[in-house]
Structure 1
Amino acid sequence: MAGHSQFKNIMVRKGAQDARRGKLFTKLIRELTTAARNGLPDPAANPRLRSAITAARNANMPKDTIERAIKRGSGGGADANFEEIRYEGYGPGGVAIIVEALTDNRNRTASEIRSVFAKGGGNMGETNSVSFMFGRKGTIRFPLAVATPDAMFEAALEAGAENVESDEGGHTVTTQTEDFAQVRDALEAKFGVPEFAKLTWQPQNTVPVDETAAETLLKLIEALEDNDDVQTVFANYEIADDVLARLSA
Structure 2
Amino acid sequence: MAGHSQFKNIMHRKGAQDARRARQFAKVIREITVAARSGLPEPASNPRLRAAISAAREVNMPKDTVDRAIKKATGAGGGDDYVEVRYEGYGPAGVAVIVEALTDNRNRTASDVRAAFSKYGGSLGETNSVSFMFQRLGVVTYPRSVSSEDEMLEAAIEAGADNVVSDVEHHEVTCPMEEFFAVRDALETRFGEPQSARIEWRPETTVALDEDKARSVLKLIDVLEENDDVQSVYANFDLSDEVAQALAA
Q: Same fold (TM over 0.5)?
A: yes
Which residue number corresponds to residue 212 of structure 2? 212
Q: 1:19-98 maps to which residues of 2 (within 5 A)?
A: 19-75=19-75, 77=77, 79-98=79-98
Q: Distance in 2 between matches of 1:49 and 1:73?
A: 12
Q: 1:124 to 1:55 in 2, by over 3 A?
A: same
Deviation at residue 180 of structure 1 after TM alignment: 2.3
Q: Distance in 2 between matches of 1:165 and 1:30?
A: 31
Gaps of 5+ in 2: none
The two structures have a TM-score, normalised by structure 2, of: 0.91
Which residue number corresponds to residue 222 of structure 2? 222
Deviation at residue 221 of structure 1 after TM alignment: 0.8
Q: 2:129 aligns to what SS in structure 1?
A: coil
Deviation at residue 32 of structure 1 after TM alignment: 1.4
Deviation at residue 55 of structure 1 after TM alignment: 2.3
Cα RMSD of the aligned pairs, angstroms, is: 1.9
Q: String of CA shifts for 1:96-151, please: whole Å, max 9, x gaps.
A: 00011111111111111111111111111110010011111121222333322221
Q: Distance in 2 between matches of 1:66 and 1:78?
A: 15
Deviation at residue 28 of structure 1 after TM alignment: 1.1
Gaps of 5+ in 1: none
* Paired residue type of 2:171: H
Which residue number corresponds to residue 156 of structure 2? 156
Between 1-10 and 96-105, report the one with greater CA deviation: 1-10
- Indicate the percent of aligned positions where both proteins have the same amino acid: 59
Q: 1:164-243 maps to which residues of 2 (within 5 A)?
A: 164-243=164-243
Q: Distance in 2 between matches of 1:224 and 1:116?
A: 7
Instruction: State the aligned residue count.
Output: 246
Deviation at residue 77 of structure 1 after TM alignment: 3.2
| Contact 2:144/2:168, CA 8 A, preserved across alignment | yes
* Paired residue type of 1:37: R
| Contact 1:50/1:193, CA 8 A, preserved across alignment | no
Which residue number corresponds to residue 135 of structure 1? 135
Deviation at residue 72 of structure 1 after TM alignment: 1.6
